[in-house]
Amino acid sequence: MATNRAEIPYSGYASDGLQVFTPTRIDVIAAGNSLDTTDVSCIRVSAPTDYLLNDTGETGVMPIGCTGIDDNITSLQFPNGAVVEVMTTK
């Protein structure tokens, strides 16, 4: 059974308790570079941030706060750079 990396963890038992974001690292991404999302369940940015899914397609704007990362997303490119708090599955 595949694990969905976008599941949001909770403190406490089962689904009881407080929804949490537990970053394991902070990455500074230079303009035009990408974040490898292997084993990443969600990220958090502190300012609206331009990004491209899998380094292609239209540029979107990631809002302030936490964003879950789907299993089909292998990388996020940040055209203007970014500081990203990363929560991993491992």
Question: Per residue in 39-56, pLDDT tens?
Answer: 999 999 999 999 999 999
pTM of the entire structure?
A: 0.77
- Determine the pLDDT at residue 21: 79
State the chain's mean pLDDT as an integer: 85
Which option is the CATH number for 25-88: 1.10.287, 3.40.50, 2.60.120, 1.10.600? Answer: 2.60.120
DSSP for 35-90, please give it.
EE-TTEEEEEESS-EEEEETT-SS-EEEPSEEEE--TT--EEEETT-EEEEEEE--
pLDDT tens, the chain, 90 aa long: 455 555 555 555 555 555 677 889 999 999 999 999 999 999 999 999 999 999 999 999 999 999 999 989 999 999 999 999 999 887
- Determine the pLDDT at residue 10: 54
